[in-house]
Structure 1
Amino acid sequence: MTSSGRAAEHPTTRRTDARTERWREHRRQVRHEFVDAAFRALDRCGPEVSMGDIAREAGAAKPKLYRHFEDKSDLYNAIVDRVREGLWERVVASIDLTNDSARDLVRRGAAEYALAVQRHPNVFRFILHSHFAQQASDSERALQSARLSARRAAELCTAALGDDSIDVDSAELIAYSVFGAVASATDWWLGVNRTRARAMSIERFVDYLAEVIAAIAQANSRLHGVTINPNLPLHLAFSPR
């Protein structure tokens, strides 16, 4: 016991804790590097990429890949999470919730998304139609990820509005509907089953996404007796009808 009456921490416990934390950090780093390799392998091999392709891209044996990911669906989930977090960071960095008009916010978000799809089209094809998602619960992972992003977007917007009367669940429904519409549009734009060249330029695709997103937000707002002025900053754009 110490003079204060507390039991002294055993040195062995401290060493064990330090080793455990180092292992956890090592595991996080290796998983991160494998996801990096998965992006490269998808870019090179396409959405039908295999675990072996990813392991070779990482310069590792396939058994090592399986030591850090339980199965294909675990790696699929990690790729979905990486896309979600990276896209979220880019969108948040590109907007000013205080001063940007509602129209500008929508368009900048749509533009960042379209650029991400253009950079890694096979990654998005993989997310939408992956053979790695073998079970129903796995195939819903992208939808669950979209729901998480929808909730975060809803909370961010309601915080910017500074109005406690705003229903976060209603705002979440708008964002969730947007994610569903955008996923369907992306599937068409990428042309998974299309043999001819891409039918729409990225500029037109961004225009389309911005119009669809704005229409969904406007429709939901009308149902709640609210109008949106797209030319005003977000905290000024909403008013009762």
Structure 2
Amino acid sequence: MTSPVKDPDGRSSRWDDHREERRGELVLAAVTAIEQFGPDAGIARVAEAAGVSKPVLYRYFDHKQELHDRVITWAAEQVVDRIAPALAEPGAIRRRIGNAVDAYLGLLTEHPNVFRLVLRHRGTDGALMPPGSHRISATFARFIGDGMRALGLDAGGAEPWAHGLVGFGLSTGEWWLTRETMSRAAVGTYLTDFIWHGFAGIAAEHGIDLEELATRATAATVTELRRNDS
């Protein structure tokens, strides 16, 4: 049997790394084009933003949908990068929830058209949630589960609650960007109150007053929260 071809100098690995790095650069160009021209921005607009021709773009992405999927995954990663440190920072739980909500709303403010693209892909391929949303729900589930266990409470609801929060956030974000009838601060307050009272109510049923609790997070906790790929 023929032995597999070896790559003693690592050229193949270096090429793969370079290709992935280049794909990342093109995803950022797509983000720029989508924000400027809207979620309908075509491949020509993306190629223009990247400073390349359409054939060059197609060397890295087989079709437009693949590029869109990468943009949506990028958006999910941005959400995790914003909310994980906010949730894990030291301080009262209610304030941490508020900071995480504000970080999410800030991302929508910065990239409204990317978020609109995300919403367009909700429900594709029979899935209720858009690609990449599992990254966010896994982060929520880990935070909720760890918090409930630390309080000596049943953490069995962490995963369904986390998925519910992602859907809640998407729906509210869609309403906010579409209607534009409320300030970011007001939306953030209402979202924070809703989430906080849900968990405070669960804790209260077990005789725990979350208003009196403050937790401390370490850098390791932030790292753990961001390990959301199963």
Query: What TM-score bracket applies, with the shorter chain setting the length?
Result: 0.7 to 0.9
Equivalent positions of 1:96-111 (< 5 A) are: 96-97=88-89, 99-111=90-102
Bigger Rg, which one: 1
1:178–1:216 CA contact under 8 A, matched in 2 = no
1:181 and 2:163 matched: no
TM-score, length basis structure 2: 0.79
**2:188 alignment partner in structure 1:** 206
1: CA distance, partners of 2:193 / 2:134 = 21
* Shift in alpha-carbon separation, 1:225–1:29, aligned structure 2, 3 A: same
Stretches of structure 2 that go unaligned for 5 or more consecutive residues are 217-230
Aligned residues: CA RMSD? 3.0
The runs of 5 or more residues in structure 1 that have no matched partner are: 1-9, 236-241
- Aligned mate of 2:43, from 30, 48, 51: 51
Partner of 2:120: 129
Identity level (%): 24
What SS does the aligned partner of 2:39 have?
coil
Q: Which residue of 1 aligns with 2:20?
A: 28
Q: Show the 5 A alignment for 1:91-170.
A: 91-97=83-89, 99-129=90-120, 136-137=124-125, 140=128, 142=130, 144-159=131-146, 163=150, 168-170=155-157
Distance (Å, rounded) in 1 between the aligned partners of 2:156 and 2:69: 25
Aligned to 2:6: 13
Which stretch has the larger CA shift, 73-82 or 154-163? 154-163
* TM-score for the superposition, normalised by structure 1: 0.75
- Paired positions, count: 213
The Cα offsets for residues 132-189 of structure 1, whole Å up to 9 and x where unpaired, read as x8x83286562x5223321232223433555497555511111111111111111111
